Amino acid sequence: MNLLIQDAGRYYREHFGEPNIIVRSPGRINLIGEHTDYNDGFALPASIDNAVYVSIGARTDDQIHLFSVDYKEFYKGNTATIEISLQSWANYILAIVDVLQKAGYNCGGFNAVVRGDIPIGAGLSSSAAVECATIFALNELFGFKLDRMTMVKMAQQAENEFIGVRCGIMDQFASMFGKPDQVIELDCRSLDYTYFPFESAEYELLLINSRVKHSLADSEYNLRRLDCEAGVAHLQRFHPNIKSLRDATPEIVKQELHLLDKKIVQRCLYVVEEIARVQEACEDLKRGDFISFGKKMFITHKGLSELYNVSCPELDFLVNAAAAHKDVIGARMMGGGFGGCTLNLVKKEALAEFIDRVSETYLETYGVLPGAYPVTIEGGTAVVGPAK
């Protein structure tokens, strides 16, 4: 059995007795469609093998006792006073209790142990994974009978309101709805979604971790949302039908936004172009045209770096290194930005050589060895225990 499930059970038994349930919720990649989710656009995420495991058991009082295996820390509190904790890992669990209780789903006291292997701050959505594992486990434990989409929305709300990051729905959705070997084309406006396989005999998806830790709670992420909202508010004066950037086109943005700050025009232009690009990119993948898909990844990166300004020198370095390698057909920064990983589309036979080369030059330039993880697409949130 997976060692992390074993750990989640073992530490629970050591500290609290027998758990009622162990839930796994994965991190995610996003092939294309970055910063489009909160603009009602499209994204193309998939859930990965790295995941968070939460073992939970009910208590007879109103106490919440938590243990993080990775931080080697306990948290103690109670369901009556849910407040932001200085132990940041505990906040993602508390955020879920808070959102459930505010919606009238009263949680009894519980114990929980958290164990995971999603690199933190790497743009792989470790926080969404903790939130999804927690809400799924509490839903089972207390019999709330919430469906998956409702849990996704509540987990997003928890992140927005308790944690204070105004994230879109993509991360929580991908963690909860992922399927093995499938990518998910998600329409973030209607929440319609389509699975299709990511299948290639020739190419592999590879994550390279810059090891620059980002913090989305840092105001920059929320500022990007405000810039998009400012753009929409301005466009609406001339086009009342525009409810979000999903409804605009590059032409409209260029025509109507010239009165505004150049920065806002650039942000909106990136988003509008990216929303259109995702749909074309999905067609590329369905046709098996990886070369065309890879080119779009590079274009997305340029937009994220030069127009949306969410990249950093280290990520640009990694993407440039990929672009300079003949067997890497696409690369871009992935997730919220300001650090974390690049996603690369690499010829299978060149994988090891590319990893060696990029690791060496990155180490020479930045004094750190980057992480390199070939991606495996695994299933979404599920009960995985208890089993001894």
The residues assigned a catalytic role are: 171
37 is an interface residue for ligand GLA by CB under 6 A: yes
Q: Contacting ligand GLA (CB under 6 A), which of 336, 339, 380, 385?
A: 336
27 is an interface residue for ligand GLA by CB under 6 A: no
Residue 19: CB atoms within 10 A of its CB come to 24
Q: Contacting ligand GLA (CB under 6 A), which of 35, 211, 277, 332?
A: 35
34 is an interface residue for ligand GLA by CB under 6 A: yes
Binding flags for ligand GLA, 252-281, as an x/- string (CB under 6 A): ------------------------------
From 31-39, 56-64, 256-264, 312-320, give the range in contact with ligand GLA by CB under 6 A. Answer: 31-39
The DSSP code sequence of 81-132 is B----SSHHHHHHHHHHHHHHHTT-----EEEEEEE-SPTTSSS-HHHHHHH
In sequence order, the β-bridge partners of residue 52 are 25, 116
For ligand GLA, which is the closer residue by CB, 58 or 230? 230
For ligand GLA, which is the closer residue by CB, 129 or 265? 129
168 is an interface residue for ligand GLA by CB under 6 A: yes
45 is an interface residue for ligand GLA by CB under 6 A: no
For ligand GLA, which is the closer residue by CB, 168 or 294? 168
Within residues 117-146, the interface with ligand GLA by CB under 6 A covers 125
Which tokens in the block code for residue 206? Answer: 């590879």
Q: How many residues touch ligand GLA (CB under 6 A)?
A: 12
In the chain, the amino acid numbered 268 is C
From 98-106, 162-170, 325-333, 342-350, give the range in contact with ligand GLA by CB under 6 A. Answer: 162-170
From 163-171, 228-236, 246-254, 346-354, give the range in contact with ligand GLA by CB under 6 A. Answer: 163-171
- What Cα–Cα distance (Å) separates residue 77 from each residue in 43, 61, 66, 262? 37, 11, 9, 48
Shortest Cβ distance from residue 337 to ligand GLA (Å)?
A: 7
Which tokens in the block code for residue 85? Answer: 């904790």
Helix (H) or strand (E) holding 10: helix 3-16
- What Cα–Cα distance (Å) separates residue 245 from each residue in 143, 185, 254, 267, 357? 39, 18, 13, 10, 40
38 is an interface residue for ligand GLA by CB under 6 A: yes
Q: State the Cα–Cα distance between residues 54 and 37, nearest whole angstrom.
A: 27
Burial degree of 204 (CB within 10 A; 0-12, 13-18, 19+): middle
Q: Are 46 and 178 in contact (CB under 8 A)?
A: yes
Helix (H) or strand (E) holding 283: helix 262-287
Q: Whats the size of the chain, residue-wise?
A: 388
For ligand GLA, which is the closer residue by CB, 226 or 363? 226
Q: State the Cα–Cα distance between residues 295 and 282, nearest whole angstrom.
A: 13
For ligand GLA, which is the closer residue by CB, 37 or 378? 37
Look at residues 279, 280, 45 and name the one whose alpha carbon lies nearest to residue 182.
Answer: 45
Look at residues 203, 182, 193 and name the one whose alpha carbon lies nearest to residue 29.
Answer: 182
Binding flags for ligand GLA, 185-224, as an x/- string (CB under 6 A): -------------------------------x--------
Question: How big is the chain by its Cα radius of gyration, in Å?
Answer: 21
Q: Contacting ligand GLA (CB under 6 A), which of 27, 57, 303, 335?
A: 335
Shortest Cβ distance from residue 168 to ligand GLA (Å)?
A: 3
For ligand GLA, which is the closer residue by CB, 34 or 256? 34
Binding site for ligand GLA (CB under 6 A): 34-35, 37-38, 125, 167-168, 170-171, 216, 335-336
